[in-house]
């Protein structure tokens, strides 16, 4: 009988020790993933003031839960902040400016794109064979230059940069 009483007392004592730990664990909530615990009624001495404070806490909790549920439904993490590059792109988009392009290194065995803003000017097409791609691009450029001699010469004069060499000043005639 004494043994049974000791077991019951030990069990009751261990449960009493665990109650404060459960309350502490319940009061801590993680950011946005777990629901916040329902607000506890805290006595302030006056029953009416206690009731008003508890109602205000409940309303605040309900609003937090509504926002948390909306975030979970939309799948958007509102806790993260955009990087500087993302902020820059967002600002450019809102201002209606074309996004700035970050020039990346050309891929292995591929030439850098040369952008010439002339109507009908050929584009460099990547097919996976750099030698064939370059040959096709040069042939297309030569053909375009022969067909648009005046336009090409005007472009060269307007865009001449001091110290820069042009690979070809005049198009070949057939």
Q: What angle do CA 152, 157, 162 make, to 5 degrees?
A: 130
Which comes out higher in pLDDT, residue 107 or 86?
Answer: 86
Give the separation between CA 16 and CA 21, rounded to whole angstroms: 10
Mean pLDDT of 93-108: 60
Question: Does 108 have pLDDT greater than 60?
Answer: no
Give the separation between CA 82 and CA 90, rounded to whole angstroms: 9
Give the separation between CA 145 and CA 122, rounded to whole angstroms: 10
Residue-averaged pLDDT of the chain: 75
Q: What tokens appear for 70 in the block?
A: 């909306």
What was the pLDDT predicted at 29? 47
Give the percent of the chain with pLDDT over 70. Answer: 68
First to last CA, the chain: 117
DSSP 3-state of 112: coil
Picking from 102, 106, 146, the residue whose alpha carbon sits closest to that of residue 126 is 106
Mean pLDDT of 80-94: 77
Give the separation between CA 3 and CA 54, rounded to whole angstroms: 46
Which comes out higher in pLDDT, residue 38 or 106?
Answer: 38
pLDDT tens for residues 53-80?
A: 999 999 998 998 888 888 877 776 656 6
Mean pLDDT of 3-26: 75
Question: In the structure, what pLDDT confidence band is assigned to residue 162 with cuts at 50, 70 and 90?
Answer: very low
What was the pLDDT predicted at 170? 46
Q: What tokens appear for 8 in the block?
A: 């019951």
Mean pLDDT of 77-96: 74
What was the pLDDT predicted at 68? 82
Give the percent of the chain with pLDDT over 90. Answer: 6
What was the pLDDT predicted at 59? 92
| Residues composing the chain | 174
pLDDT tens for residues 109-137?
A: 556 556 677 888 888 888 878 888 888 88
């Amino acid at each position: 009988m004494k043994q049974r009483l000791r077991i019951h007392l030990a069990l009751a004592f261990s449960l009493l020790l665990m109650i404060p730990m459960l309350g502490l664990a319940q009061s801590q909530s993680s950011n946005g993933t777990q629901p916040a615990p329902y607000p506890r009624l805290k006595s302030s001495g006056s029953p009416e003031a206690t009731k008003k404070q508890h109602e205000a806490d409940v309303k605040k909790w309900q609003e937090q839960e509504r926002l948390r549920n909306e975030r979970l439904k939309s799948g958007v993490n509102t806790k993260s902040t955009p990087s500087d590059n993302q902020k820059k792109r967002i600002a450019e988009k809102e201002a209606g400016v074309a996004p700035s392009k970050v020039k990346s290194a050309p891929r292995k065995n591929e030439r850098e794109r040369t952008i010439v803003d002339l109507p009908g000017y050929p584009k460099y097409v990547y097919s996976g064979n750099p030698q064939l791609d370059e040959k096709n691009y040069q042939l297309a450029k030569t053909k375009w230059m022969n067909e648009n001699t005046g336009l090409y010469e005007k472009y060269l004069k307007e865009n001449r940069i001091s110290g820069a060499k042009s690979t070809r000043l005049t198009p070949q005639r057939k």
